[in-house]
Amino acid sequence: MRLSFLHLTLYALLISVLAIALYLPGLGGGFTLDDGYNILQNRLLYVDVFNIDDFIIAAFSFHGVDGSRALPLLSFALDYWRSGGMDASAFKMTNLLIHGITVFFLVFMLRRLLEVAGWSHERSIWIALLLAFLWGIHPLQVSSVLYIVQRMQTMATLFIILALWAYLGMRQSQILGQRGRLCGVQVVIFGLLALLCKEDAVLLLAYTLILELTVLRFRAAQPSVQRGLKQSYLVLTVFGLLGYLFVVVPHFWYWEASPGRDFTTPERLMTQGRVLVMYLYQIVIPWPDNMPFIYDAFQPSRGIWSPWTTLPSILLVVALLAWGWMWRHRRPVFACGVLLFFAGHFITSNVIALELVFEHRNHFPLIGVLLALMDLSLIGVCRWKPQAGAWRIFQGTIAILILWVGAMTALHANTWGDPVRHGKKLVELSPESPRAWIQYGNVFSSRYNDNQNKADLVMALEVTEEALQHISSTTLASNAITYKAMLGEDASADWERYFEALKEAPKDWQNQRSVEVLMNNVRREFDVDKINTLRAMEILDQRASLSGKEALEYGLFVYRYVDKEKAFPWLKRFVQRTHRNDASLVWLFEQLEVENRPEWSEQLKIILDEK
C-alpha cells in the first residue's frame, strides 16, 4: 500500500504516542544518582519567576560555570519554573516528550536513508516506521528516558537525527543535480544544537562519513561536487586522525591507573571489547534483568585472557567491523548499521578515562544495530520468498517481537516508577555494587527529609548496615555514621570501620565525596564527631593528595567548625600546592589579617618565597 506524506506523518505520530505510553508507568519514580549533583544541588536551576537573565545563568551552570550542555540545563530550569519546584514527574514528562519527538523524526531520517540506499518507496516507509518504533520501545532506552539527567544524551540524539535527516536531504538534492543549500544550513544548525547538549555530538562528522562510505558513496550529478565531497572528507579524516594520535591519545593515556580510576588505559581499551559485546547482547536479548543500570561490579580486563572473555570479545568486535566494511557495497544498509553502532561508541569506548559502562551510551548506536539486523532479516526472507507464506511468517514474527519488546519496556518502566521497587531491583541485580545500595538507602533518607518520619531513617540505616555486611564502601560507612548521629545512636564502631575503608579504598571521587558529606553534616550541626571528621580528612589527604583549592576549603572548615589551631597545616598545604599568582592567596592573607594571625602570615609567606 502506497502511503501519502500525510498518512506517513499520522503513522509516525501514532508510534510516537505509543512509545511514550509505554514509559508512563515510570513517571512515579524520583531523582536518581547523578540527578542529585547535576540537578537537585544546582541552585542556579531554581528559577521561581520567569526571568530571561536567570534562565541564561541556569543554561550555563553545568558543573558550576562549565558552560557546556546549555540546552538540557535550560530545559531543567524551565521544568523547575513550570512545575513550581523539583517535581521529578514533571522532569520525566519532558524526557518522555523529547523521546516521542525523536521517534517521530527518526521515521523520516530512516526513510531518507533507505531511499538513498536504493530501497523502494513503500519498503522504505514501512521499514522506517518499524525500526523507529522498535528503537523507541526498546527496554535499553528506559535508563536514558527515565533517568532525568540523561536528557543531555537524548536531546543530543534528537538533534543528531535531525542533522542526519537534513544531510541526507542535501545529498539527495545533489544527486539529482540540485544545490540543497537549505538542507546544508539545517545540518549546521542542528549539529550546533546537538553540541550544546553533549560533547559527543562531534561524532556527527563520523556518522555522515559512514553514510558516504555506504549508502551515498559520494554520488552527485556534478563531478565537481563529487570531487569536493571526497576531498573534504579526506582532509577532515586526516586532521581527525592526527588530532587523535598526537593530541587526544598523549593527553589521556595512562600506563598507571588513571586519576580517580582503578584501571590503566590499555586495560580500559581491552575491557571495552567485552563492554561492546555486552551491549549487543542487551540489544538482541531485550530482557530487563540483563540491564542492571549500575555496573560497579563490572571488572576491568587486566590482561588479554583476564577474564578469558576479553580476547574473544575483541576478536568478535574486529570481525563485525571487518564484515561491515566488506559488505559496504554489497549490503550498504547492513554496513551502515554496523559502522554507526561502533562509531557511536568511539569516544566512550576509547582512551578517555570515563566509567567503563553506561546503558545510555547506546541511545543513538541502537539505531545502527536495528538497521543491520533488519537488513540481515530481509536477506533471509528474500531467499525464502519462493516458499509459500514467507512474508506472513516474517510479519507474524515482527508482530510478536514488537509485543515482546513493548511488554519488557513497560515492565522495566514500572520498576523505575517506584523508588523502593527500583532500589530493591538495583541491589538484586547488582548486590556487590555500593552505588546500588546507596541509591536504595537514599530512597528512605530522602523520605525522612520530606516527612521527618524516623521510621524512614531507621530503614535507611538498616539498608546501609545490610550492605556493609558484605561490601566495603566509604560512602556507605559514612552514611551509617550520619544516620546514627541523626538517630542519636553511638557510632564509635562505625568510625573505625569507616577509617579502615578509607585507608584501603582506591583514590577516586566517591571516597572524597564521603568525607565531604561528613563535613557538610558538621556544618548542618548534626551530632557528627568533629575530631573524627578531621581524622578522615587527614587520611583522605594521605591517600589522594588534595589540590591547593581543596586544601584551602578543608582548612577553612577546620578553622570554623573544628579547632582553629588545627587549621594551619591545611593552609600550609594550600600555599605549597597552589600557584603563587592564585588570587586566593591574596584573599587568604587578607583574612589572616582580619583574624589577627600575623605569625601564620609570616610562616606562609616564607613558604611562598621558597617556591
For every residue of 297-340, DSSP letters joined together read: T-PPP-BTTBSTTHHHHHHHHHHHHHHHHHTTTTSHHHHHHHHH
CA distance 189 to 194: 9
Mean residue pLDDT of the chain comes to: 90
Helix (H) or strand (E) holding 483: helix 474-487
Q: What is the pLDDT of residues 199-242, one digit of tens each?
A: 999 999 999 999 999 999 999 989 999 999 999 999 999 999 99
pLDDT at 446 over 90: no
pLDDT of residue 315: 97
Average pLDDT of span 363-375: 96
Which class for 469: exposed (0-12), middle (13-18), buried (19 or more C-beta within 10 A)?
A: exposed
pLDDT of residue 611: 65
Closest CA to 32 of 297, 521, 418, 355: 418
CA distance 340 to 334: 10
Where are the CATH 1.25.40 domain residues in the chain? 431-545
Q: Scanning the structure block, which residue is given the C-alpha cell 589577627?
A: 596
Band of the pLDDT at 579, cuts 50, 70, 90?
confident
* pTM of the predicted model as reported, rounded to 2 decimal places: 0.88
pLDDT of residue 389: 65
389: left (phi over 0), alpha (psi -120 to 50) or beta: left
Q: What is the pLDDT of residues 5-27, one digit of tens each?
A: 888 999 999 999 999 999 999 99
Neighbouring CB atoms inside 10 A of 46's CB total: 14
pLDDT of residue 1: 54
CB burial readout 372-411, b (16+ within 10 A) else e:
bbbbeebeeeeeeeeeeeeeeebeeeeeeeeeebbebbbb
CA distance 109 to 165: 4
Q: State the cell numbers at 451.
A: 516527612
pLDDT of residue 323: 96
Q: What is the pLDDT of residues 89-99, one digit of tens each?
A: 999 999 999 99
pLDDT of residue 578: 85
pLDDT of residue 41: 85
The rounded radius of gyration (Å) of the Cα atoms in the chain is 27
**Amino acid identity at 237:** T
CA distance 53 to 50: 9
Q: Which residue has the higher pLDDT, 389 or 247?
A: 247
Q: State in words which class domain 431-545 has.
A: mainly alpha
Q: Scanning the structure block, which residue is given the C-alpha cell 571528621?
A: 533
Helix (H) or strand (E) holding 175: helix 151-175
Band of the pLDDT at 361, cuts 50, 70, 90?
very high
pLDDT at 385 over 70: no
CA distance 300 to 303: 9
Band of the pLDDT at 172, cuts 50, 70, 90?
very high
Neighbouring CB atoms inside 10 A of 196's CB total: 21
Q: Which residue has the higher pLDDT, 20 or 484?
A: 20
Q: What is the pLDDT of residues 102-152, one digit of tens each?
A: 999 999 999 999 999 999 888 899 999 999 999 999 999 999 999 999 999
Q: What is the pLDDT of residues 43-73, one digit of tens each?
A: 889 998 898 988 999 888 887 666 689 999 9
Answer yes or no: are the C-beta atoms of 440 and 427 closer than 8 Å: yes
Q: What is the pLDDT of residues 487-530, one digit of tens each?
A: 888 878 888 888 888 887 766 667 788 888 888 888 888 888 88
Band of the pLDDT at 390, cuts 50, 70, 90?
low
Q: What is the pLDDT of residues 588-602, one digit of tens each?
A: 888 888 888 888 888
pLDDT at 370 over 90: yes
CA distance 339 to 446: 44
Torsion angles phi and psi, residue 234, rounded to 5 = -65, -45
pLDDT of residue 290: 92
Average pLDDT of span 259-276: 91
CB within 8 A of 24, min separation 6: which ones? 96, 413
Axis-axis angle for helices 204-211, 332-344 (nearest 10): 170
pLDDT of residue 397: 83
Average pLDDT of span 319-329: 96
pLDDT at 375 over 60: yes
Band of the pLDDT at 386, cuts 50, 70, 90?
low
pLDDT at 412 over 90: yes
Torsion angles phi and psi, residue 303, rounded to 5 = -165, 175
